């Protein structure tokens, strides 16, 4: 059982590194304005996936903030989950960047 737990931890860690290393970086010229949501598309060898990034009001590039990844339900969209959950207001209050994945269909 301990071996399975270790293998699972290694698998999760490697997948996390691969995912983070494959995400595009935002250049200094195209930084997001505080209090806005922008749409992006990641394209890779296995296809493409849309995602939105909300940058909270008061955000400054001179300090680090957490990244919260929001995965919506099967009948929701990033905009509907943001409106219904009030995550944008929470991001403004708690100062975190929110990444909302767009589902495949």
Burial state string for 32-68 with b = 16 or more CB within 10 A and e = fewer than 16? beeeeeeeeeeeeeeeeeebbbbbbeebeeeeebeee
Mean residue pLDDT across the chain: 76
Round to the nearest angstrom and report the end-to-end CA distance of the chain.
37
Domain boundaries of the chain, sorted by first residue: 36-101
- Greater model confidence, 42 or 23: 42
pLDDT of residue 34 exceeding 80, the answer is yes
The pLDDT of residue 20 is 47
Asked if residues 30 and 59 have their Cβ atoms less than 8 Å apart, the reply is no
The pLDDT of residue 54 is 92
* 75-100 pLDDT per residue, tens: 787 778 777 888 899 999 999 999 98
In whole angstroms, give the CA distance from residue 53 to residue 68: 10
For residue 6, what pLDDT band results from cuts at 50, 70 and 90? low
């Amino acid at each position: 059982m301990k071996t399975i737990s270790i293998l699972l931890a290694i698998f999760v860690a490697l997948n996390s590194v691969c995912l983070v290393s494959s995400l595009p970086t935002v250049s200094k010229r195209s930084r997001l304005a505080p209090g806005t949501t922008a749409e992006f598309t990641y394209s890779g060898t296995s296809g493409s996936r849309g995602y939105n990034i909300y940058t909270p009001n008061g955000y400054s590039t001179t300090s680090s903030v957490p990244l919260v990844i929001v995965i919506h339900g099967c009948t929701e969209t990033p905009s509907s989950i943001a409106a219904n959950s009030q995550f944008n207001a929470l991001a403004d209050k708690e100062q975190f960047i929110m990444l909302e994945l767009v589902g495949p269909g």
